[in-house]
Structure 1
Amino acid sequence: MMKYKVYVKLGAILSIALLVSFIAPGRKIRVYLIGDSTISIKEKKGYPENGWGMPFVNFFDEGVIVDNRAQNGRSTKSFINEKRWQSVADSLQKGDYVLIQFGHNDEVETKKAYTTPEAFKANLLRFVTETRRKKAHPVLITPVSRRSFDATGKALETHPVYSGLLREVAAAQKVPLIDLDRKSIELYQKLGEEGSKLLFNHLQPGDHPNYPEGKVDNTHFNELGAREIAQLVLKEIKVLKLDLAKHIVKPFVKK
């Protein structure tokens, strides 16, 4: 009788353990996005401007949480000085990802956020090293290109120096690289000088209450543009064969 009671108790404990393991899902992968206004979440007063990180969250299954920490106007220097990077580094856990795209503000010498080429590379190295220290995965991304065409209709490179620095760090540290600068230029070229305007905040007076006088912006995207750029990033995640690619919702990603 005593043995029977013991078996019953053991059976009950095992059943509870199995139930708990069935109910409690495994830890979700957290994907941190760090960068500038081309990625960041916009306030309503900025609409229809969208950062590509906004639609990016919608392309993953329930095993992934996208945590967009990008902020308007930030460079690697200001992102570190404002302790924004430290907050990400402190939160990282094994298996997480950090997608790192800077350059737009680092390269502008007239901005307070300006970062010298040497400091830019050092900051990128810090992001990579501290991410790996937590057994998480860094992914470097060249800054998405601004929209610019020459007189012949050729889409021009707009970040030659700082994109090159990112490529150097990626190669030296053997970090996966998404060359979004080049991929976005290819997209603009495909759409042409006029067609590519559809991706950006190009508004006529009266088109939107946030911009009553209109807007011509060849750096920041509208909703369509943000979605197209997000899909370029997602496609490259698949090309790189990152484990994260297994969580991309396939029907919504272009081949």
Structure 2
Amino acid sequence: MEEVTMRFGGVVALDRVSFDIRRGEILGLIGPNGAGKTTCFNALTGVYPPTQGRVVFDGQPLGRRKRYQINRLGIARTFQNIRLFGNMTARENVLVGADSHHRSGVLSALFRLSRHRRETAEGDRLADELLELMDLGHRADDLARNLSYGEQRRLEIARALATRPKLLCLDEPAAGFNPVEKQRLMDLIRRVRDLGNTVLLIEHDMRLVMGVTDRIVVLEFGKKIAEGSPAQVRDDPAVIAAYLGVDEEETAGDPGTAAEIDDLRGEL
């Protein structure tokens, strides 16, 4: 992102935000509620074109490309709220993602031409591989609405991966998870990265973010206030002030605030 500003009427949701995502890394995007994290995702994935600035992916400015065009360039995302097709099976949901790169048309499907048969077989194979990757192989033929909450979250990731992205954007994937599910998610995110994907992660669970990311970008009120490794961000006074609403130096003599800061560092 290069100097991206997003305005909605008189509200400035992003204010000249710039950061790079390095190939093969897991980048965390964090900040208090209302910091502009999801707006960043929406600008990156074509939901809203930036008011100012630009988003460049793999050397190509995204400009006002449509969302399906951005997806074909190699960017996929999940959402805060689960958006599955509940009356379709887990496998069918993943096949929806795989279909985004199919080139055979209606006539090819009607007459079962070789290209359609080849793409169908490739899609089936990819769906089975991704369901296994997400520990959902045993639920492949179950309706998505009958899966547990955690399974539905993992199914969304499998469907996004089926579009063969270069960059996978995960918007609060651990929301509603218990500690065991969060640990499993951390392992899955690492596996996704190890398969050659780059991951951009929004997440409120700081232990998860600190445990899985390579770098972190911090937003507050639409502005970038910090960027660096998890260790650097953990000790950044601007980050502590953003989350607690206090300045560490100004409250150095307050034992109550000092305890809050220690607790926050423990979370971070």
TM-score by length of 2: 0.27
**TM-score of the superposition, structure 1-length normalised?**
0.28
Bigger Rg over Cα: 1
Structure with more strand by fraction: 2
